[in-house]
Amino acid sequence: MRITSVHHIQLQFPAQSTEDLRFFYSTVLGAQELPVPHQRQLLQFAVGEQLLCFSPAASPAPRSACQHVAFNVQGIDDLKNRFQAFGWHFIATQPSSTGLQAQQVYVKDPAGHQLEFLESH
């Protein structure tokens, strides 16, 4: 047996932030929202070849400050420009400051999930 990739990531979110999450992932990040059966209140987005799925919860479980989802990207400067255009706050690092050979951008989505975007150099 060999694991070849991650199929999807499932996260909880406060049910009242559905439209904010939809706007952030589909409009700000440009991810494709995927249809789900009508009886399910999930949100699903295609992110590269993986799925990012969200389940609404009345009171989502608390998250540790170190929990996050990290994405490999190409065109990180374009991503920073998109965040700026939408007025979204982010933190960027340069490869020399991290010890990694990657530029990183950190942002929180409307539900408070920490996201990391990396572009290797």
Closest CA relative to residue 13, chosen from 60, 77, 76, 70: 60
* CATH ID of 8-120, from 3.40.50.2300, 3.40.50.720, 3.10.180.10, 3.40.50.1980: 3.10.180.10
* Three-state DSSP state, 59: coil
Phi-psi category of 77—alpha, beta or left, where left has phi over 0 and alpha has psi -120 to 50?
alpha
The answer to whether residues 121 and 95 touch, using CB atoms and an 8 Å cutoff, is: yes
Quick one: which H or E segment has residue 118? strand 114-120
The one-digit pLDDT tens for each residue of the chain (121 residues) are: 666 678 889 999 988 899 999 999 999 999 999 998 776 778 999 998 889 999 988 877 777 778 889 999 999 999 999 999 999 999 998 776 556 678 899 999 999 999 999 988 7
The answer to whether residues 119 and 74 touch, using CB atoms and an 8 Å cutoff, is: yes
- pTM of structure: 0.84
The answer to whether residues 113 and 11 touch, using CB atoms and an 8 Å cutoff, is: yes
pLDDT at position 99 is 63
Q: Please, where are the H alpha helices in 1-121?
A: 18-22, 76-85, 95-98
Here the tokens at position 74 are 């190409």
pLDDT at position 66 is 81
